[in-house]
Amino acid sequence: MYMIQAVKIKKFKNLTGLDIPQLSRINLISGKNNVGKSSLLEAIDMYINDSKIISVMEERGEFQPRIYRNSDNDNYLNHNIEALSSLFTDRNNNVSNDNIIEIGDGKDILSLRFVYYTEQETEDDGNILRKAIVLDSEDDFNVENAHIAFEITRLGKSKMIIPLDRRLEVYRFGRMGRMDFSNVVRINPESFDQTFAAKLWDNVVLTEKESYVIQALQIIEPNIENIAFLEDSKYVGRHPIVKVSNMSSRLPLKSMGDGINHILSIILALVNCENGCLLIDEIDNGLHYSVQKQLWSIIFKLAIKLNVQIFATTHSSDCINSFSSILNENNNVSEGRYIRLEKRQGKISYKEYNLDELIIVAAQNIEIR
């Protein structure tokens, strides 16, 4: 299976020049608030599948096309520009060769930038030929100092992210080949809803992967025998119901606490990412320290068995210590990596801790979150 071996990010949100030269199958990322942990996951998600760009903006509340779709063209245009600029450092929407987002491994790069473009109908087939023109500033807009940066034939279908108008557009270039991931899922406590969970469950029901989900839930409630997604009048849409061995009636999983529901979201996503990539924001959310080592044990086993690369973020020392404990077992040391993002002189950088350092940190209770 293909895995991302390294990542370089330039001018994506607050990640102005982050360069992590080595990654593993399972990567745990920590750091203080606003150092770019979630942004790193978003960047990797976009890099693997650039159709996720719109969803990244929507999840952040930046892109709300329904509100502006029926308004006048200027308002709709301004909303699109504002939404797209949220991806760039300092929300910079300048048309400039210096204002380019780059996400990649040093060889395969996804690039985003603002451009002006012209368009004209071709004589042979009536398709629209658009020519993107890169300028140093809007004042420089003339034929003599503009140069053609990209061409694309468009009629209904487009490789562009989102059309703005005849002055400005964001587009992708420099992508070599395709990312060889069959499945990619990114989850966080806020965006993982029951409808999505039900869909993931349907993909694995009556397969070996169903048992993996039940085993993970048993970390918190050992008496759980089975799980299903059902629909009734008390809930909107399908929701998880479990059968517990010492209970005569079925129980809604929601009634058993946030922790077990978070485990469900993690394992459901993991078993749906065979030969793929899983991105987990706040992996320790709602989980007591006593269950985190067991969860990491299952995550390592399934990630190796199903060929999944994982990127997860945390604020928890317990999570880091549990991760390092499992990393120290068997042959797991080659499968995992702990990375801490730090802000130094206004720039986000990284520091990696190897297994020996993590063991010392845990023994001496050193702060590395």
β-bridge pairing 162-163 and 7-10: unpaired
β-bridge pairing 277-280 and 251-252: unpaired
Answer yes or no: are the C-beta atoms of 251 and 239 closer than 8 Å.
Answer: no
Please give the model's pTM, rounded to 2 decimal places. 0.82
Give 350-355 contacts, CB < 8 A, sequence gap 24+. 350/18, 350/19, 350/20, 352/22, 355/324, 355/327, 355/328
Report the percentage of the chain scoring pLDDT > 70.
72
Gyration radius from the chain CA atoms = 23
How far is the C-alpha of 167 from the C-alpha of 164, rounded, in Å? 8
How far is the C-alpha of 189 from the C-alpha of 281, rounded, in Å? 7
Higher pLDDT, 136 or 211: 211
Helix axis angle, 289-306 relative to 258-271, nearest 10°?
Answer: 10
Report the percentage of the chain scoring pLDDT > 90.
30
Closest CA to 240 of 285, 195, 278, 288: 195
Confidence of residue 148 (pLDDT cuts 50, 70, 90): very low
Answer yes or no: are the C-beta atoms of 248 and 276 closer than 8 Å.
Answer: no
Answer yes or no: are the C-beta atoms of 13 and 36 closer than 8 Å.
Answer: yes
Answer yes or no: are the C-beta atoms of 315 and 30 closer than 8 Å.
Answer: yes
pLDDT of 364 higher than 80: no
Q: What is the mean pLDDT of the chain?
A: 78
pLDDT of 140 higher than 70: no
Residues 6+ apart with CB under 8 A from 125: none
Answer yes or no: are the C-beta atoms of 266 and 308 closer than 8 Å.
Answer: no
How far is the C-alpha of 174 from the C-alpha of 187, rounded, in Å? 28
The angle formed by the CA atoms of residues 99, 105 and 108, to the nearest 5 degrees, is 80
Confidence of residue 76 (pLDDT cuts 50, 70, 90): low
**What would the pLDDT profile of 289-333 be if each residue is shown by its tens digit?**
888 999 999 999 999 999 999 999 998 888 988 988 898 887 788
**What would the pLDDT profile of 151-198 be if each residue is shown by its tens digit?**
333 333 333 333 333 344 445 544 544 455 668 888 886 666 788 888
pLDDT of 124 higher than 80: no
One-letter identity of residue 167: R
Closest CA to 228 of 260, 245, 250: 250
Query: What are φ and ψ of residue 16, in 5° steps?
Result: -80, -25
